[in-house]
Amino acid sequence: MRSLGLLGLGFLAGAVMSLGLAPVQAVWAAPLALIVIAVLLLRTERPLQAGALGWLFGCGYFGFGLSWIMEPFQVDAAADGWMAPFALAGLAAGLALFWALAFWGAAWLARGGWRLVALMGCWILAELARAYVLTGFPWAGFAQLAMPEGAALRAVPWIGAQGFTGLLLFAVLPLAMMWRRPFQALAPMVAVLASFAWMPRGPEFGGDLPLTDHSVRLVQPNAPQAEKWLPEKRWLFVRRMLELTAAPTADGGRPDLVIWPETAIPTLQNYIDSDNLRPQLLAAADGAELLYGIQRREDGQYMNSAVVMAADGAVLDIYDKVHLVPFGEYMPLPSLWRRFGVFGLAARADSGYAPGTDRGLLDTTAGRALPLICYEGVFAQDVGAVAKRADYLVLITNDAWFGSYSGPYQHLVQAQLRAAEQGLPMLRVANTGITAVIDPYGRISESLALNTAGSLDARLPAALPPTLYSRTGDWPALFAALLLITVALGPRLRAKTRGTLA
Question: CA separation (Å) from 93 to 154, 340, 384?
Answer: 32, 23, 29
| 321 belongs to the catalytic site | yes
Which residue type sits at 324? L
Query: For residue 283, which of 312, 307, 317 has the smallest C-alpha distance?
Result: 312
Do the bridges between strand 444-447 and strand 289-298 make them parallel or antiparallel, or are there none, so unpaired? Answer: unpaired
Residue 169 — φ and ψ, nearest 5°? -65, -40
Which residue among the candidates 71, 228, 289, 374 is catalytic per the annotation? Answer: 374
What is the rounded CA–CA span in Å between residue 272 and residue 258? 18
Contact 378, 138 (CB under 8 A): yes
Of the candidates 298, 407, 316, 396, the one whose C-alpha atom is nearest the C-alpha of residue 353 is: 298
Q: Where are the beta strands (DSSP E) in 281-438?
A: 289-298, 301-309, 315-320, 362-364, 367-373, 392-397, 426-430, 436-438
CA distance 151 to 266: 41
Convert 200-212 to b/e letters by CB count within 10 Å (16 or more is b). Answer: eebeeeeeebeeb
Exactly one of 71, 127, 262, 329 is catalytic; name it.
262
Instruction: Give the residue among 411, 419, 417 at the shortest CA–CA distance from 462.
Output: 419
Query: Catalytic annotation on 45?
Result: no
DSSP at 384: T
Scanning 18-111, the segments in alpha helix (DSSP H) are: 29-43, 47-65, 77-80, 84-109
Among candidate residues 228, 321, 329, 376, the one labeled active-site is 321
- Per the annotation, the verdict on 122 as an active-site residue is no
Q: Which residue from 143, 175, 141 is spatially nearest to 38, judged by alpha carbons?
A: 175
Burial class of residue 192, CB neighbours in 10 A (0-12, 13-18, 19+): middle
Task: Please give the positions annotated as active site.
Answer: 262, 321, 374
